[in-house]
Structure 1
Amino acid sequence: MVGAGQASAPHLQSIRDLDTEVTLARVVARSADKLAALHLPAGAVTSTRLEDILEDATIAAVLVLTPPNSHGEIVERIARAGKHVLVEKPLDVSLEKAEQMVAICEQNGVKLAVMLQHRIRDASLALARLIQDGSLGPLLSASASIRWWRPQTYYNEPGRGTLARDGGGVLMTQAIHTLDLMLSLTGMPDRVLAMAGTSPAHRMECEDTVAAVLRYPNGAIGNIDATTAAWPGFPERIALNFAQGSATLEAGELRAELTDGRKIQVGVRQATGSGANPMAFDHAFHRAVLLDFVTAIRSHTEPAITGRSALQVQRLIAAMMESSHRGAAVSIAS
């Protein structure tokens, strides 16, 4: 594992849960103090040198949990050492760098998975099956609402909410999970018109509020409402309308009603880290992504959330920010 910051907690919990499936051999971070503060499984060795992981032939895979602007270099070195990678979202701070990362992993024959765990919630998988088997029919419209709250103290951490470290604000750091899930269900829009800005609630470089309108290739219309300035923070919500019914995903719960009379409810509402505490969520789906990643390595198959599939949400975010900067609608390459 590379990184010992806030993001490491759910990963470490997942590793402890999966102690019969995976062994944590080494943890590397720049800060010896942060390493010392971690509660690690027995046998895990700490170090401040990435080379200690790269040169260890017994290590098959690496979790990369460092800030986004460091992902590219670290993942490239890991891939060239022949080790598989599970990286925290986003892939990198820009679409170009994200595409380079995916290409390098593919060239070196290693698996690249991404921690976009909303896709494998029970409710998300149930809705994906309804869409895939044709029960709902063609998409008519889509809506994603991510109305979260982050206090100014959150953005006072050096680099947080900046282009240089995070690659953006609410879109790249918070809304990316919900947007990735929506795209996995609806496919990519082909055109977007967006406005992004920073509200008076925060002092930060990047956007904390975004509104956008989407158009899909079949003519369906979508909208996105994303902010970290909505006190006290509300569960994220995806609402999809189809020719043969409608479906809503909210905080891990699916509610669907079909024109044939069926009513479907899957999952339970859960905390999502939408308020002042960004870590106020259950680690169960981090564990599911990690288990899927390990299983993919052992079975020589692709993980459920590949780096290539994660490029879609970064393409959408890049198009939204371009639209806002240009003050005009932009096309999204398929």
Structure 2
Amino acid sequence: MAASGKFRVGIIGLGMASPPHVLSLLDLTDRLDVVGAFSPSAARRSDFHARFGLPTVENVDAIFEDRSIDYVVILTPPNTHLELVQRAAQAGKHVLLEKPLDVTLERSRQVVETARQASIRLGITFQRRFRTTFVEAARRIAEGELGGIVSASIRLANWRPQSYYDEPGRGTLARDGGGVLLTQAIHTIDQLIALTGLPVEVSCLALTSPIHRMETEDLVHATLRFGNGAIGVLSATTAAYPGFPDSIEILGTKGSARLEGDGGVIALMDGRTFLLTDDTADRGSGADPMAFSHHNHRALHEDFLMALEKDREPRVQGIDALAAHLLIDALLRSAKEGETAYLKPFTILPK
């Protein structure tokens, strides 16, 4: 941290994912300074500087070698994450990483293990954990208001036009690591795991629909079974024109909770009903994946700053993203092999 008492931050990656992060950092300039932003594209660096007025660097080494930088925000394609986290760890810099951890389960495990061994904080961009509707539902479920969970299901019905997948590398195993599960549904999957824990077994069908020309899956349906005997379903697609709000449904022995887009309801059998609202409009389920407020990103960045200030783990850690990747890996394994897949969590990093 600089003598001013502010954290010094570097940004790596200035593509589509960067605006909500940068807007969040600009909202927090009383607590941090962005001292350098890098993209290998000179045009992107120029556009970034013109739009946000923040300094850029021509080589990523300038960020890793600047000892004054406390942490880096990594917003590059997934297949670059492991090596960049390794460099940050070697330089002793904390990392706030765009999801997913990396393109494969093993590389993702190495990302988490790298941060642990270097004793750096690793935060993950699962900003939907900061929706007020989710926070309230999670609190009530954790306090037992729904009783024992008997069913937990999620649905993601996004729309992405073919032009989205025509971008070089989009929806490929080499760059993105997967399709709708790892790129879009991972957010809702993370929310489900945070509410209920990991399923213990899954049975899945996955395919590429005639709607898209792409290497990876754009349509998935699966059944889930949890350790306490609860069951559920998972549905995810980017072929649902024109795009619909994501939903989470939890049924318990004392009531139910349903979150859908920016709203939700908790209905208890004792007669109480709680309506949940969130005024941060999220319209990213349609053709424009970035059609949402940066409000939840800002909350994510604020939490990461507090984690550094108080020397604690961020609310969303690497192990959380690893759990989501573990479930996605099991879903795709089940679809490929045509049989039930059983989850075998890594034994590292007890939470």
Residues 251 and 271 of structure 1 are in contact (CA less than 8 Å); yes or no, is this contact kept in structure 2?
yes
2:95 counterpart of 1:95: no
What residue number does 1:289 align with?
300
Distance 1:86 1:40, change over 3 A: farther
Residues 205 and 222 of structure 2 are in contact (CA less than 8 Å); yes or no, is this contact kept in structure 1?
yes
Matches for 1:84-233 after TM superposition, within 5 Å = 84-233=94-243
CA deviations over 1:193-226 (Å, ceiling 9, x no partner): 0011000000000000000000001111110110
Residues 283 and 292 of structure 2 are in contact (CA less than 8 Å); yes or no, is this contact kept in structure 1?
yes
2:273 counterpart of 1:275: no
Q: 1:321 aligns with which of 332, 339, 344?
A: 332
Q: Following TM superposition, by how much is the alpha carbon of 1:48 offset from its aligned partner in structure 2, in angstroms?
A: 2.9
Runs of 4+ in 1 over 4 A off after TM superposition: 39-42
Residues 132 and 278 of structure 2 are in contact (CA less than 8 Å); yes or no, is this contact kept in structure 1?
no
CA deviations over 1:129-161 (Å, ceiling 9, x no partner): 111111111111111110110000000001000
What residue number does 1:52 align with?
62
Q: Which has the higher strand share?
A: 2
Identity of aligned residues (%): 46
Provide structure 2 residue ranges, at least 5 long, that are not aligned to the other structure: 1-10, 346-351
Residues 156 and 235 of structure 2 are in contact (CA less than 8 Å); yes or no, is this contact kept in structure 1?
yes
Q: 2:260 aligns with which of 215, 227, 250?
A: 250
Counterpart amino acid of residue 148 in structure 2: P
Work out the CA distance in 1 between the residues paired with 2:37 and 2:326.
32
Work out the CA distance in 2 between the residues paired with 1:272 and 1:184.
23
RMSD: 1.1
Work out the CA distance in 2 between the residues paired with 1:120 and 1:7.
18
Residues 190 and 320 of structure 2 are in contact (CA less than 8 Å); yes or no, is this contact kept in structure 1?
no
Q: 1:75 aligns with which of 85, 105, 115?
A: 85
Q: Following TM superposition, by how much is the alpha carbon of 1:45 offset from its aligned partner in structure 2, in angstroms?
A: 2.5
Provide structure 1 residue ranges, at least 5 long, that are not aligned to the other structure: none
Q: Following TM superposition, by how much is the alpha carbon of 1:23 offset from its aligned partner in structure 2, in angstroms?
A: 1.0
Q: 2:341 aligns with which of 325, 330, 334?
A: 330
Work out the CA distance in 1 between the residues paired with 2:77 and 2:232.
31
CA deviations over 1:275-302 (Å, ceiling 9, x no partner): 0001101110001101110110111011
Q: Following TM superposition, by how much is the alpha carbon of 1:271 offset from its aligned partner in structure 2, in angstroms?
A: 2.1
- The residue matched to 1:316 in structure 2 has which SS? helix
Work out the CA distance in 2 between the residues paired with 1:21 and 1:245.
42
- The residue matched to 2:189 in structure 1 has which SS? helix
Q: Following TM superposition, by how much is the alpha carbon of 1:308 offset from its aligned partner in structure 2, in angstroms?
A: 1.2
Counterpart amino acid of residue 278 in structure 1: P
What residue number does 2:3 align with?
none
Work out the CA distance in 2 between the residues paired with 1:99 and 1:291.
26
Moved more, 161-170 or 267-276: 267-276
What residue number does 1:302 align with?
313
Matches for 1:13-32 after TM superposition, within 5 Å = 13-32=23-42
Work out the CA distance in 2 between the residues paired with 1:276 and 1:41.
25
- The residue matched to 1:311 in structure 2 has which SS? helix
Work out the CA distance in 2 between the residues paired with 1:266 and 1:246.
13
User: What TM-score does the superposition give when structure 2 sets the normalisation length?
Assistant: 0.93
Counterpart amino acid of residue 134 in structure 1: G
Residues 71 and 91 of structure 1 are in contact (CA less than 8 Å); yes or no, is this contact kept in structure 2?
yes
User: What TM-score does the superposition give when structure 1 sets the normalisation length?
Assistant: 0.98
Q: Following TM superposition, by how much is the alpha carbon of 1:80 offset from its aligned partner in structure 2, in angstroms?
A: 1.1
Q: Following TM superposition, by how much is the alpha carbon of 1:29 offset from its aligned partner in structure 2, in angstroms?
A: 1.1
Residues 172 and 179 of structure 2 are in contact (CA less than 8 Å); yes or no, is this contact kept in structure 1?
yes
Counterpart amino acid of residue 23 in structure 2: Q
Residues 165 and 214 of structure 2 are in contact (CA less than 8 Å); yes or no, is this contact kept in structure 1?
yes
Work out the CA distance in 2 between the residues paired with 1:132 and 1:225.
24
Q: Following TM superposition, by how much is the alpha carbon of 1:67 offset from its aligned partner in structure 2, in angstroms?
A: 0.4
Counterpart amino acid of residue 296 in structure 1: A
Work out the CA distance in 1 between the residues paired with 2:52 and 2:168.
30
Work out the CA distance in 1 between the residues paired with 2:212 and 2:250.
31
Q: Following TM superposition, by how much is the alpha carbon of 1:272 offset from its aligned partner in structure 2, in angstroms?
A: 3.5
Work out the CA distance in 1 between the residues paired with 2:250 and 2:213.
34
